[in-house]
Amino acid sequence: MEFKKLQKTELIARLEILTAEVEELQAQAKKVQAVSHDLYVHKIELEVQNQELLEAQQLLSESRDRYADLYDFSPVGYVSLTSAGNIEEINLTAARMLGDERSALLGKPFSLCVEKDSMPIFYAHLQRVFSSQEKMVDNVRLKCKNLAPTEVSMESISIYQGANHTAICRTALIDISQRKALERARFLANFDSLTGLPNRTLLEDRVAQALATAQRNHTQVGVLFLDLDRFKPINDTFGHAVGDMLLQEVANRLMQCVRKVDTVARLGGDEFIVLLPDLNGGEHAVIAVDNILQSMSQLFIIEGHQFKIMPSIGISIYPDDGSDMQTLIRSADAAMYHAKKSPHQHFKFYTPEMNSLALENMTLESKLRLALRQGKLELRYQPQMEIQTGNIIGMEALLRWHDSEFGWVEPCKIIALAEDRGLIEQIFEWVLHTACSQIQLWQKSGLSLVPVAVNVSPIQLNQSGFAQIIINALKETELDPGSLELEITESAVMHNPEFIIEVLSQLKGMGVQLSVDDFGTGFSSLSYLARLPIHKLKIAEPFVRDVITSNEAATIISAIVSLSKKLKLRVIAEGVETAAQLAFLRESGCDEIQGYYLSHPLSAEEYASFVKNKK
């Protein structure tokens, strides 16, 4: 019994132990289950977080790609430069601006991409950026491989990056070429590209405003038409670059001569307009003209060359001489033409009579052009005689033109019109070829060969290709150079003496005869005269005409003859009409004569008969 009781007690104890163990195991299982649940929940949370992270990374990658696209394909070029000016980073837009691959540009000095004329601006820009924390902006021109240079605005600022706080220049390159082109187009629509002065379009607007104001206030408006005297020979001799610089300097001087309310405009070529609003009489226009003439009288120094160039100025006044721009400019132009034809008078006011003369000149010009094309110009030949022997030793070819409306047009009028309207070169070459060809015809017919003298316009003489024109004419007509004489004027020589001496020396070396025409009427420098490679001086006709009645004329002729002997030059007197004049010239030691006393100008046939009869 006791044994059974003991076993039962032990069994109960053991059951209690087992129960406790089971309970502990159950508790532990619950704990494991709870931990397992927590782990599961944490796993789920981690998976969610991982998914969110993946999504964030995807968004970041997409954002980075979008930023890279925005950076590379931005209309603005971006470049990062080191303090040495080397390219550390560059976007595709900037690389395209420079016309190269990005990989080829990295590490290179950015200065290699800058045009030479912009290099100082670039270096100064870089220096200012690294010495300041402020944004710097400058315009530079960039080289573009295989393309035209690009003008950009450089907007830069310096930053510090990395552990070493290295200074970097962050630069935005903004292409402003199109903007500049648009600005240029707008500028050219209203301003002259060479001088920067208003052009005809802007002038029309300024004139319209000035006339409207004058009408309201009962005031006047002045229009000055300026044309530069002898500009074309300078342009032809020294080249268009020098001519352009001269026009720019003229524009600068004109601007300094007028009021702020006035307008200086360039019509084209060497023609300028000065608009004078709000005048109270023509005398105020004269004040402006005086200022202009005083300024223009100073020497122009261009590229080491000295030029003296004066304007001819025509003046018209609103409302007396016109009520619109076209009429006022036309009136001022007519007055300018008269000023140009008036010796030592640089300006004229318009008068109604000038319009009829202007119309006549326009008609005459048209007819002259037609006559030149149709071969209606003629040459007459006036013999020249050696006083001592009475022999015919030369002749002068003289231009003649007969028009059905105007009759025989005065030679001086033909030449003046030709010089003014740009026909003198064609006419000179026609005279030269015709005279040379005629000498050859006379020679073939057995007539004694004597030189023919051809007058040279100062405009023609100052052209750079003048000597070649003479060479070509002699070659084409197969005429010996010694049979041609060229007559030049004192004024033509003094305009550009060094150049003229060089040209004449070349011609003299070929054997061409050279003489100075109308000697005594100009303002020769004896030092230049002694250097001229000439053969003969030609005494001006006014001195010969007055030699019998004027002691002054006689003294001048004697002085010219004496000077020619000292310079070992022959001397000829033109315009000899009387025996008394011839006698004086013979006694003075003059070598040759020409004039109506000997013969009037003759046609080719008449000249041949004259020479044969003279024998």
Please, what is the angle between helix 424-444 and helix 411-420, to 10°?
Answer: 130
What is residue 356's predicted lDDT score, i.e. its pLDDT? 73
Exposed, middle or buried by CB within 10 Å (0-12, 13-18, 19+), for 253? Answer: middle
- For residues 415 and 306, membership in a common domain is answered with no
What is residue 73's predicted lDDT score, i.e. its pLDDT? 65
366 within a domain of the structure (yes/no): no
Q: Please provide the DSSP assignment of 362-403 as one string.
A: HHHHHHHHHHHHHT-EEEEEEEEEETTT--EEEEEEEEEEEE
Provide the β-strand partners of residue 167: 160
CA separation for the pair 177, 540 (Å, rounded):
62
Q: Do you know the residue count of the chain?
A: 615
- For residues 478 and 579, membership in a common domain is answered with yes
- For residues 224 and 344, membership in a common domain is answered with yes
177 within a domain of the structure (yes/no): yes
- For residues 158 and 285, membership in a common domain is answered with no
- For residues 311 and 231, membership in a common domain is answered with yes
364 within a domain of the structure (yes/no): no
CA separation for the pair 575, 545 (Å, rounded):
7
72 within a domain of the structure (yes/no): no
* pLDDT level of residue 614 (50, 70, 90 thresholds): confident
Q: Mean of the pLDDT values across residues 84-91?
A: 90
Find the CATH number of the domain harbouring 246. 3.30.70.270
CA separation for the pair 498, 489 (Å, rounded):
15
Q: What sign does the dihedral 482-484-487-493 (CA atoms) show? A: negative
- Asked if 169 contacts 127 with a C-beta cutoff of 8 angstroms, the reply is no
Say which DSSP state 602 is in. B
- For residues 424 and 469, membership in a common domain is answered with yes
- For residues 327 and 274, membership in a common domain is answered with yes
283 within a domain of the structure (yes/no): yes
CA separation for the pair 356, 439 (Å, rounded):
42
- For residues 324 and 284, membership in a common domain is answered with yes
pLDDT in tens, 224-252: 999 998 888 788 778 889 999 999 999 99
- Asked if 261 contacts 284 with a C-beta cutoff of 8 angstroms, the reply is no
In 168-281, alpha helices (H): 177-190, 200-217, 231-238, 240-257
pLDDT in tens, 318-336: 999 999 999 999 999 989 9
- For residues 427 and 562, membership in a common domain is answered with yes
In angstroms, the first-to-last Cα distance of the chain is 199
20 within a domain of the structure (yes/no): yes
Exposed, middle or buried by CB within 10 Å (0-12, 13-18, 19+), for 282? Answer: middle
Find the CATH number of the domain harbouring 102. 3.30.450.20
539 φ, ψ (degrees, to nearest 5): -70, 130
pLDDT in tens, 427-471: 999 999 999 999 999 988 888 888 999 999 888 888 878 999 999
* pLDDT level of residue 61 (50, 70, 90 thresholds): low
What is this structure's pTM?
0.57
Whether 397 shows a pLDDT value over 90: the answer reads yes
- For residues 249 and 210, membership in a common domain is answered with yes
Q: Where are the beta strands (DSSP E) in 72-194?
A: 77-81, 87-90, 136-144, 147-161, 166-175
CA separation for the pair 273, 330 (Å, rounded):
11
CA separation for the pair 237, 471 (Å, rounded):
18
Instruction: State which H helix or E strand residue 524 sits in.
Output: none
What is residue 38's predicted lDDT score, i.e. its pLDDT? 76
* pLDDT level of residue 5 (50, 70, 90 thresholds): low
pLDDT in tens, 194-211: 999 999 989 999 999 999
358 within a domain of the structure (yes/no): no
pLDDT in tens, 252-299: 999 999 999 999 999 988 999 999 999 987 788 889 999 999 999 999
Q: Please provide the DSSP assignment of 535-571 as one string.
A: SEEEE-HHHHHTTTT-HHHHHHHHHHHHHHHHTT-EE
- For residues 386 and 482, membership in a common domain is answered with yes
Q: Of 66-80, 341-355, 443-457, which has the strongest mean pLDDT? A: 443-457
Find the CATH number of the domain harbouring 421. 3.20.20.450
CA separation for the pair 104, 100 (Å, rounded):
7
Last-in-domain residue among 316, 351, 386: 351
527 within a domain of the structure (yes/no): yes
Last-in-domain residue among 18, 41, 64: 64
What is residue 524's predicted lDDT score, i.e. its pLDDT? 54
What is residue 579's predicted lDDT score, i.e. its pLDDT? 94
Name the more confident of 360 and 572: 572
Task: Tally the domains of the chain.
Answer: 4
Last-in-domain residue among 149, 181, 213: 181
pLDDT in tens, 482-508: 999 999 987 777 667 788 889 999 999
- For residues 166 and 213, membership in a common domain is answered with no
pLDDT in tens, 138-182: 999 988 877 778 888 899 998 887 767 788 899 999 888 777 777
Whether 13 shows a pLDDT value over 80: the answer reads no
pLDDT in tens, 401-439: 998 888 998 988 888 888 878 889 999 999 999 999 999
What is residue 521's predicted lDDT score, i.e. its pLDDT? 66
Give the residue numbers spanning the domain of 101: 77-181
